[in-house]
Each structure stands twice: as structure tokens, then as C-alpha cells.
Amino acid sequence: MYDYYKILEIPHNASLEEIKRAYRIKAKTVHPDINNSPKANEVFALVNEAYETLLDKHKRYLHDIKLNNADDIKLKAGKKKQYYGSSVKNSTYTNAYGNGADFHYNENGFGKPSANVKDDKYYYNLSPILYNMLFVCGMFLGFIIAIVTIAGTFKNYWPKPFIFISVLGFILIIQGWRGIMGKKTIIDSLKKGFRK
């Protein structure tokens, strides 16, 4: 949720005249005709939305309620984080469209929120057995492709150029091994084994 007061850089008890003055100043700096930023249209629309919301008594009242509720949720999440540790996820911030994927307003201005990146570590922590089984299956499939193409070529079941399909099998075996060993190559694993 956006804090329209922060967007216009005014206090929560600002008068209508202060809101109008802040809007004029802000609109001059973020207007798409003046600002060459690729997000200038979105930012200008957000500044207009803030202005229209804070000018209307009813909309401003509802915005203040939502803002206070968001602050309470943030405070509760902070207390949980203190009590339970950093494993508690604080996902209370969303934009006007209900998700966190769009830009948001922070103390440095408008910017992209840090996305929750789902990398190999995330999927490994989700289910280590399934994660490793995926690579084992890939290695098995690669082994079958390599053996069948090599054996079939040497037994003259198909022409000699078909042996190059075995490269795909070897790639699957290598990538499966790297996935299981944490992106290490076979040579790195052998070196480590000889050092022990």
C-alpha cells in the first residue's frame, strides 16, 4: 500500500492548501514532459492518485484507516521477528494493485522492490530429496541416451552420424552431477576426494 503523504512529502495533518502546494511542486518534477525516466508516466499517475485521494475527505479518511492498519501489521510483524527470529517473513507491503511486483515509494524515491528470487537453494530447502531426484533422473536419462545411441551406432542399427546424439546424453549426465554436487564439476569432486 502506498503512503500518499510520503509521496507528496507532507505531514499527515496537512491542510488542503498544503496538499495543493505539495502536488504542484511534485507534479513539476515528475511530469512526463519534464522527467525523462521510463517510469515517469506511472509515477505521475501515482502522484495524481495521491492528490485526488487526499483532497477528498472520504477517500482521505479511508486511506488513513488503511495506512494505520498497515502500520499495525508492520509493527506486529516486527515484534514476531524479534520474538521468533529472522525466519518470520514480513509480506505486508503491496502496491495499489495488491501485489509487490510493481514499483513502490521508499525514502529514496520510487524504485523496484527487491524480488523474492527463487534459486536452486530455495528449491533445495523446499524438498532436498525431490530436488536431488530430479538430477538423478536427468543423469539416468542421459545415461540411457548415451548408451543406446553409441550401441545402436556400433551395431549398425542407424547411420554413424547418430552417435552425436550421445552428446546430449553426456550433457544431461554432467548437468545432473553438477546439480547434485552443488554446481561443482566432476574434476573438482575428484580433486577434493584425492586431497582427503
Q: Is the pLDDT of residue 95 over 80?
A: no
Tell me the sheet residues that pair with 111. 104
Least confident interval from 3-17, 18-32, 173-187: 173-187
Mean per-residue pLDDT, 179-185: 69
Q: Is the pLDDT of residue 31 over 50?
A: yes
Question: Does residue 60 contact residue 50 with C-beta atoms inside 8 Å?
Answer: no
In this prediction, residue 100 carries a pLDDT of 42
Mean per-residue pLDDT, 80-102: 49
Least confident interval from 57-66, 95-104, 125-134: 95-104
Give the pLDDT band of residue 189 (cuts 50, 70, 90).
low
Percent of the chain residues past pLDDT 70, beyond the cut = 67
14 Cβ neighbours under 8 A, 6+ residues apart: 5, 8, 22, 54
User: What CATH number was assigned to the domain covering residues 4-111?
Assistant: 1.10.287.110
In this prediction, residue 190 carries a pLDDT of 64
Q: Name the residue ranges covered by the structural domains of the chain.
A: 4-111, 120-195
The pLDDT tens digits for 58-83 are 888 888 888 888 766 766 666 666 65
